[in-house]
Structure 1
Amino acid sequence: MTVSQGAALSIGAVLGTGVIALPALAAQTAGPASLIAWGALVVLSVPLAATFAALGARYPDSGGVATYVRNAFGRRAAAVVGWSFYFAVPVGAPAAALFGGAYVSAALGGGTRTTLLTAGALMLAVTGGNLGGVRVSGRLQLGLAGLLIALLLTATITALPHAHTANLHPFAPHGWWAIGPAAAVLVWGFAGWEAVTSLAADFRRPKQDLPRATGIALVVVAVLYLGIAAASVLVIGPAMPGTDAPLAELLAIGVGGQVRTIAAGAALLLTLGTMNAYYAGAAKLGAALGRDGALPAWFGRGAAPGSVPRRSLVVVALLGAASLAVVAATGTGTRALVLLTSGCFVLVYLMGSAAAIKLLPRRTLARWCAILAFASSVGLMVVTGWYVLGTLVIAAGALLYTRRARGPEKSPEISGRAVDSVAA
């Protein structure tokens, strides 16, 4: 996998379906002050991204965050992190697919039926793409990322001339404390910096290529997220909390024409990019968990660099389909799925950054980033609130499984593969 493909996967993992709906949800929670929450999470992304890039470069293994935690704290802690990420993807994937499907139904009609059929088709598409291996999914992601960046830049640049500073008043209509809950909503849009670490061993030169890919992704994500958020507040203004499609509104104001069709295309690109990156990372992680004894050994095929973890991928796809079926049968909205997924990722960040503090060399920039990331993750857990409880159920399942399944506390074959330390 090349630097450009790795950067595209990172961009897709982070800059996903958050652009579709989060600007409106955040503005509904905190008004124009939601821009502070956007800025805070962009700043938080710097130490998080740097921490996981440093770990991935030093420990290039398909286990990703689970490998780092295993080397730092043992197999039970690694199982908790691995399960939290692996089983979060089938919960979050239907929500992401339904976001894209809603835009398609708005453009073509058909209501819930069109939304569900589109969601199912998206999930099948990313499963098929990843069955071909990381090279196929990486090339797919590179093309999607290019189209996505062009579209978002067009929406922002064409809409900003219509901005009005009067839309910033009142700046905090729900009080300054509302910035915290707005940040909790935005966690969904900024999760993903850890996803590509499971693919670190598939880079040609992990020590050099992974930090470069992460740096490129960080700059692109920061520019596009802040641009879309600022344009949404300044251009759409007080009407934004009442819309489910702020990106479509920006395109309508800036470009005009068949806005619903354009917005549907954008939603599909965003959804495909996000789901492709997460399916690829989760499939590799599941295989590594099977290899290390945190899941049944049946999962372990495909954990080696360059191999395709088809068994793990099929499980992710089937669990995702089951989640979508539950949503279709019960009429449950996507909000619960989003917040449960975010709670899982907060725990992954917390334990991953704690492992980095222990594993990375002292007195390096990377370790200081890990300390900042750990403190920030504690704050994210606080603002996420009760939805972290779902993660605790998954964690309990992991601990019960590893208690019954015997295996080495550490993973010597992984620990011995650490490359020279990375300072950034």
Structure 2
Amino acid sequence: MNPRSGLSVAQGTALSVGAVLGTGLISLPALAADAAGPAALVAWLALIILSAPLAWTFAALGARYPGAGGVSTYARMAFGPRIAAAVGWCFYFAVPLGAPVAAAFTGGYVADVVGGGRTTEFVTFLALIGIAYGMNWFGLQISGRVQLVLTATLAVLLVATVIAALPHARWDNLTPFAPHGWTGIGAAAAMLVWGFAGWEALSSLSAEYRNPRRDVPRATLVAVAVVGVLYLAVAAVSVLALGPALAGSRAPLSDLLAIGVGGPVRLLTAIAAVILTLGAINAYYAGSSRLGAALAAEKALPSTVFGTQRRSLTFIFVASIGSALLPLGLHTATLLVTGCFTLVYVLGTAAALRLLPSGLPKVIAGVAFVAVVALLWLNGAPALLSLGIAAGALLYQGLQARKPVLDEVRVDSAEPEHQSCS
């Protein structure tokens, strides 16, 4: 690669921030406050601190193995194809679980403007996934540049929200600090994984840098700092300005802008939320439909259901609707998805412990591994779903491995009878 044609530190930082800065932030401050009260700020800070070793670990893997295909590839290199398939399953099946959650975040903003409550949220969900399904069916993709514009729009919206609401911050809103006890912090942290998913993308970007060994760590540190400042600023201002009302809010950014600016800000934030969420769901549908077809090609999923990109896409679409119809609260649904993300990080950092050299790289990977294992434990009972998905992948792989042997046994047992008939 021509050194001048690769990513600079600034470009890499922008892409890394874009991979992590997601739509969850439009509702996560309220969900975290509902779980932990003002003490949710401790959970935000803990996740920001965790981001540094986690992001560095994936950046180190990418720098050492540039061009690799991400966590699944590292799991295959470290543990073999069955664990790699488990990673693929966790990513794939998290998408239809996560689409209703992302749409519910946005639906709260739409309902805040037009009314209708849960009905409006469900109609918003159907519209978003229907558009994403149609776009991917016909191969219409939002370009990487547009995705970056959407991310930049979210970043600008967050900064504007913080500036507008800051004069209304009150220290009194920090008391009582932990109304649900200190265990609420763990529950909030497990939920906030949604907002920090995406650091694994650093590994796939590493081969694009002009000088991966020099620039990847620099871009990673800057990205962690930018994401951390934005997240902590929004979370802190949300708690200080909205106080107890934050926990019950379905549109916290709208509430913050309304007290800071006034005017038609609720309509504007609702429109921004819809566009941002459509971009995110479209990207996840595009990536996961390809992932499902790839897993089927590797015989890690049945080809009759997942064998082509359109079959895989249709499964995700139908499963998304099925997930939305389940009698689950938003908290529980969010934890089911973050449990899958967290297990992927557990397997990815475990792979890093085997693949990275001894010394500082392995120490940092060890810190990240211990932290994500703790997060999986904090996820509680919903984490069992991710473990069940991984177990299902291993079981399916085992059955597929036994099929040729069983077929051979059947042929051998049928052969004498065939010979006697002749």
**TM score, norm. by length of structure 1:** 0.82
How far apart are the structure 2 equivalents of 1:178 and 1:274? 29
Q: Is the Cα–Cα contact under 8 Å of residues 162 and 235 in structure 1 kept in the other structure?
A: yes
1:347 alignment partner, SS class: helix
2:347 to 351, 357, 363: 351
Give the structure 2 partner of residue 83 of structure 1.
Answer: 89
Q: Is the Cα–Cα contact under 8 Å of residues 290 and 312 in structure 2 kept in the other structure?
A: no
1:227 to 228, 233, 246: 233
How far apart are the structure 1 equivalents of 2:132 and 2:208? 21
Q: For structure 2, list consecutive stretches of 5 or more residues without a partner in the other structure.
A: 1-5, 403-422
Give the structure 1 partner of residue 110 of structure 2.
Answer: 104
Q: Is the Cα–Cα contact under 8 Å of residues 137 and 276 in structure 1 kept in the other structure?
A: no
Q: Report the Cα offset of residue 236 of structure 1.
A: 1.0
How far apart are the structure 2 equivalents of 1:6 and 1:126? 27
Give the structure 2 partner of residue 237 of structure 1.
Answer: 243
How far apart are the structure 1 equivalents of 2:362 and 2:218? 18
Q: Report the Cα offset of residue 174 of structure 1.
A: 2.7
Q: Report the Cα offset of residue 207 of structure 1.
A: 3.4
Q: Report the Cα offset of residue 11 of structure 1.
A: 3.4
Q: Report the Cα offset of residue 323 of structure 1.
A: 3.2
How far apart are the structure 2 equivalents of 1:69 and 1:9? 24
Q: Any idea what the Cα deviations from partners look like across 1:305-329, whole Å, max 9, x if unmatched?
A: xxxxxx44x4553233223422555
Q: Is the Cα–Cα contact under 8 Å of residues 17 and 227 in structure 2 kept in the other structure?
A: yes
Q: Identify if the C-alpha distance between structure 1 residues 258 and 136 changes in structure 2 by more than 3 Å, giving closer, same or farther.
A: closer
Q: Is the Cα–Cα contact under 8 Å of residues 105 and 250 in structure 2 kept in the other structure?
A: no
Give the structure 2 partner of residue 370 of structure 1.
Answer: 365
2:271 to 254, 259, 265: 265
Q: Report the Cα offset of residue 296 of structure 1.
A: 5.4
Q: Is the Cα–Cα contact under 8 Å of residues 108 and 251 in structure 2 kept in the other structure?
A: no
- How is 1:133-144 mapped onto 2 (pairs within 5 angstroms)? 136-144=142-150
Look at both structures and tell me which one has the larger radius of gyration over its CA atoms: 2
Output the amino acid matched with 1:358: R
Q: Any idea what the Cα deviations from partners look like across 1:73-119, whole Å, max 9, x if unmatched?
A: 11111111111112111211221123212312322345445433332
How far apart are the structure 1 equivalents of 2:216 and 2:95? 22
Give the structure 2 partner of residue 50 of structure 1.
Answer: 56
- Matching of residue 164 in structure 1 with residue 159 in structure 2: no
Q: Report the Cα offset of residue 293 of structure 1.
A: 4.3
- Matching of residue 393 in structure 1 with residue 388 in structure 2: yes
Q: Identify if the C-alpha distance between structure 1 residues 132 and 148 changes in structure 2 by more than 3 Å, giving closer, same or farther.
A: farther
Q: Report the Cα offset of residue 216 of structure 1.
A: 4.5
How far apart are the structure 2 equivalents of 1:175 and 1:195? 35
Q: Is the Cα–Cα contact under 8 Å of residues 62 and 200 in structure 1 kept in the other structure?
A: no
Q: Report the Cα offset of residue 177 of structure 1.
A: 3.2
How far apart are the structure 2 equivalents of 1:300 and 1:322? 13
How far apart are the structure 2 equivalents of 1:213 and 1:359? 22
Q: Report the Cα offset of residue 284 of structure 1.
A: 5.2
Q: Is the Cα–Cα contact under 8 Å of residues 63 and 288 in structure 1 kept in the other structure?
A: no
1:185 to 183, 191, 196: 191
- How is 1:24-423 mapped onto 2 (pairs within 5 angstroms)? 24-61=30-67, 63-126=69-132, 136-195=142-201, 197=203, 199-200=204-205, 203=208, 207=212, 214-283=220-289, 285-286=291-292, 288-290=294-296, 292-295=298-301, 311-312=308-309, 314-315=310-311, 317-327=313-323, 329=325, 332-364=328-360, 366-406=361-401
Q: For structure 1, list consecutive stretches of 5 or more residues without a partner in the other structure.
A: 302-310, 408-424
Output the amino acid matched with 1:394: I
Aligned-pair Cα RMSD in Å: 3.2
Q: Report the Cα offset of residue 141 of structure 1.
A: 0.9
Q: Identify if the C-alpha distance between structure 1 residues 95 and 320 changes in structure 2 by more than 3 Å, giving closer, same or farther.
A: farther
